[in-house]
Amino acid sequence: MTIPRLNTRNGLLGVGTAAVVVGLLAGCSAPRVIGEPYAGAGRGTLATDPSDTGPTVGWVREGERFFVTTYGSSSCPIAPTRLESNDDGPMVTMTRTGGDACTADSGPASYALDLPERFHGRERVTVSLRFEDDGRVVRRELRRSDDAG
């Protein structure tokens, strides 16, 4: 009776290849987006001038829920991935999603987020948007409608 010999070189090569593939796939995982896509951003919040594509914020439900709109590639939108609290309002980390192959178009992407409860009664809330790709922080103010004057 002949016992087949295990070719350890080929076995190790297969294990090594599998480890590399798993490592690459783990590195390609998409960031976890928080909030929900929001289609309700309307007049005064979406840019009509192509040069005015800065981020905007607005109320979904005044004092409770807000939205964030950013502009960029429609296949790799910039989305909220983390929500923390500062003294004057929420700090939202914004991360480009979609991978490395992005289209060269530019369009809005809006997401609705819950306002942390500690800010519910405030007349004005400052939303800080921290962009993960370059570290910049943009601040936008939310005001209650009875404080708009």
Per-residue pLDDT tens for 86-115?
Answer: 999 999 999 999 988 999 998 899 999 999
pTM across the whole model: 0.74
Q: What pLDDT is recorded for position 20?
A: 44
Token reading at 84: 């923390």
As a whole number of angstroms, the distance between CA 35 and CA 83 comes to 10
Structure tokens at 110: 């809006």
- The dihedral formed by the CA atoms of 18, 20, 26 and 29, expressed in degrees to the nearest 10: -110
Instruction: Please give the biggest Cα pair distance in the chain.
Output: 94
pLDDT per residue as tens digits for the range 27-70: 557 889 999 999 977 655 555 565 667 899 999 999 999 999 99
Contacts of 75 (CB under 8 A, 6+ apart): 98, 101, 102, 103
42: tokens are: 């309307």
CB 92 within 8 A of CB 110: no
Strands (E), 26-106: 36-37, 56-61, 65-72, 78-85, 90-96
Backbone angles phi, psi at 14, to 5 degrees: -65, -40
Least confidently predicted of 3-12, 98-107, 140-149: 3-12
